[in-house]
Structure 1
Amino acid sequence: MSFAIRELSSEQLPECARLIRESFLAIARRYGITSENCPQYAAFIRAEDLEARRSKGGLLFGLFEADHLAGCACLLPPSRESSPAMLELVAVQPEYRHRGYGRALVQHGEIAARALGAPTLDIVVINENAKLKDWYKSYGFTEIGEKVSSELPYTPCYMGLELDRGET
């Protein structure tokens, strides 16, 4: 099946937020993440949260199969020239997984980050989620480090992808 990736409109943000919540809910349950101990986790995101990201320069894009939103992601641009771009909220509806859509969303984020002049594209995943870390490693991401926080019910693992900006 063919698909298209395009920027999301404000009217599409509620549907995108629902997709993200559904996509991250199983992980939240597996790692004991709740709206009480980690209200900012993706499984609890609202359309207003996505709009706030957009108002700060975030690029929200969706992957559409026909006219159906099957996946989405958010790219936060670099805060300054030497800073990384941050890819977050990469989500594919469960019934659309294993079709290469997640990889297509990451690739779209990589292309956009490169166009913004970012030296790297960073992501944050749950350190204990080895399967997801391995998936990102298969794309070329490497582990940058972990950050233990008493405020989070999991250990964040920071990963980065070096971007070739055509410099010699």
Structure 2
Amino acid sequence: MIRAVEKEELEQCIQIFHRGYGTVADEFGLTEENSPDRGRAALPCSRLQEEFDEGVLMYGYFLESRLIGFLGIKMAGDVCKLNDIIILPEYRNNGYGTELLDFCRKKAVESGKKKIVLGMIDDNTRLRNWYISNGFVTTGYRKYEGAPYTVGDMECSLQQVTEVKQ
């Protein structure tokens, strides 16, 4: 079940960040020196609380009563910015991430957005290919001084989703 996260649950959510993004931080050699918060793997709960207060919409994926995934999105103009989509390592490859992405699409369409945008470690070919298989295209690249990776900007048009819904 996917549902909105309550502010009181953010401490539980930050554990999803640490464990879920931790595998990525380890795989790509992210440290505090080359990537702030180890690419969100060491994000402090206070920062997540700030994002919550700033209007980032946060949802949890609950399997029975256990939180196994997290989705963070921000609506701005005609765009839905996908900030975070995380599944705990032991629950990956079971379709839960796709369910969160579909939920994101639904929320974006309901809010009248035209596209979903995101930035990700482009060197993470497994994740990039997953996004491509889910309708995303690469729109550009960014390189930050000292970072051991390139950020790939991606987007997915919601035109087809809107047309199907009508």
Contact 1:42 1:89 in 2 (8 A): no
| Partners of 1:11 and 1:99 in 2: CA distance | 28
In structure 2, do the counterparts of structure 1 residues 110 and 151 end up closer, same or farther at CA, with 3 Å as the change threshold? farther
Quote how far apart the aligned CAs of 1:153 are: 2.8
| Partners of 1:151 and 1:106 in 2: CA distance | 31
Q: Give the one of 22, 25, 28 matched to 2:22.
A: 25
| Partners of 2:68 and 2:27 in 1: CA distance | 23
Q: Which amino acid is 2:94 matched to?
A: R
* 1:136 corresponds to 2:131: yes
Q: Give the one of 120, 126, 148 matched to 1:125.
A: 120
- Aligned partner of 1:50 in structure 2 is 48
Quote how far apart the aligned CAs of 1:152 are: 2.9
Deviations along 1:50-93, one digit per CA (max 9) or x if unpaired, are 22112221100000011100101100111x2x4x2111221111
Deviations along 1:76-128, one digit per CA (max 9) or x if unpaired, are 111x2x4x211122111112112110001111111111222221101111111
Question: 2:41 aligns to what SS in structure 1?
Answer: helix
Q: Which structure's residues are more often helix, by fraction?
A: 2
Aligned residues: 162
* 1:72 corresponds to 2:89: no
Contact 1:75 1:113 in 2 (8 A): no
- Aligned partner of 1:16 in structure 2 is 13
Question: 1:77 aligns to what SS in structure 2?
Answer: strand
Contact 2:59 2:71 in 1 (8 A): yes
Q: Give the one of 100, 105, 111 matched to 2:100.
A: 105
Q: Which amino acid is 1:112 matched to?
A: K
Deviations along 1:5-48, one digit per CA (max 9) or x if unpaired, are 00001111111111111111121122121123212422111222
Q: Which amino acid is 1:116 matched to?
A: S
In structure 2, do the counterparts of structure 1 residues 56 and 151 end up closer, same or farther at CA, with 3 Å as the change threshold? farther
Could you tell me which runs of 5 or more consecutive residues in structure 1 were left unpaired when the two chains were aligned.
none
Q: With the length of structure 2 as denominator, give the TM-score of the two structures.
A: 0.90
Q: CA RMSD in A?
A: 1.7
| Partners of 2:130 and 2:97 in 1: CA distance | 10
Contact 2:7 2:52 in 1 (8 A): no
Q: Which amino acid is 2:26 matched to?
A: R
- Aligned partner of 2:60 in structure 1 is 62
Quote how far apart the aligned CAs of 1:155 are: 0.6
Question: 1:54 aligns to what SS in structure 2?
Answer: helix
Question: 1:106 aligns to what SS in structure 2?
Answer: helix
